[in-house]
Amino acid sequence: MYDLHTREQALTLVAQGHSLNSVSLRTGISRSAIREWQTRPESPKRVLGQAGPCPRCLPAPGVPADTASYSYLLGLYLGDGCISSHRSGGYYLRIACADAWPGLIDLCKNAITAVRPEDSVYVLQREGCVMVTSYGRHWPCLFPQHGPGKKHTRRIALEPWQQTIVDEHPWEFVRGLIHSDGCRNMNWTTRVVGGERKRYEYPRYWFTNVSDDIRRLYTDTLDRLGVEWKDCTRHGRPYNVSVARRASVALMDAHVGPKY
């Protein structure tokens, strides 16, 4: 009656600590069906996240097949993602996406599925945002930047195989970073033309991240792409990177564009 994916979603929600009642309400699956899946020996819980090879460790070290999607997902993960372990031995990858941009939620889900077709993806509603979530055994293999504490409190460096992928797909990486921790907005200035003060608006891209390492990964990639950028300080600390020059904004517009 229910496919494996639906069962996995329901069981993952239960494993996260949601009550049978709330999972039943959310998924439309009866509580007794969920209880049965939890106890039946052939329950998919036993194989949840274990099925399928891993591009990094099984059967042999390699890279994800879809490197373009990986580059994008790496940008999302470094911007607004986290990995946490579960007592079952697996890991949750969670990417925060604002409610305001449904198109980006779909892009994020598609990227996760492209990188890990074996793992299910689901969306959990939070206040003002959703958590695009995937459970699997191998998320730390794919994102070795995983570690204790917040990303900005530890050193973040790409492994050589990741850097190779970013070099192959730099715009995907930049797009992922902007889609998670960036935005395109309008700035304005005034200029006096013919004795009259006129207001001019111009678009600008912002990237905001407290990790010096992650901002550096962003600006190093911009350098290779010929995009000019500037550090902007906040309370004396450089959190923001601005791209405002016309030619550079045009490049960003051609490859990234506004959120949607």
Report whether 179 contacts 104 (CB < 8 A): yes
The residue (of 77 and 205) whose beta carbon lies closer to Zn ion is 77
Output 119 or 181, the one with its CB closest to Zn ion.
119
- How far apart are CB 56 and Zn ion at their closest, in Å? 5
In the chain, alpha helices (H):
4-15, 20-27, 31-39, 67-80, 102-115, 139-142, 160-168, 170-181, 212-225, 246-255
Q: Which is nearer to Zn ion, 41 or 160 (CB)?
A: 160
Question: Binding residues for Zn ion, per CB under 5 A?
Answer: 54, 56-57, 138, 141
Letter for the amino acid at 53?
P
The nearest distance, CB 145 to Zn ion, in angstroms, is 15
**What sign for the dihedral angle of Cα 67, 83, 94, 158?**
negative
Tokens of 177: 């970073």
Beta carbon of residue 54, minimum distance to Zn ion (angstroms, whole number): 3
- Tell me if residue 144 falls in helix, strand or coil: coil
Specify the residue, 56 or 175, whose C-beta has the smaller distance to Zn ion: 56
Least gap, CB of 122 to Zn ion (angstroms): 21
For helices 20-27 and 31-39, what crossing angle results, to 10°?
A: 120
Helix (H, G, I), strand (E, B) or coil at 256: coil
Q: How far apart are the first and last CA of the chain?
A: 35
Q: Shortest approach of Zn ion to residue 63 CB, angstroms? A: 12
Closest CB to Zn ion among residues 124, 141: 141
CB of 57 to Zn ion, least distance (A): 3
Please name the helix (run of DSSP H) or strand (run of DSSP E) that holds residue 149, with its range, or none: none
Q: By C-beta, is 54 or 107 nearer to Zn ion?
A: 54
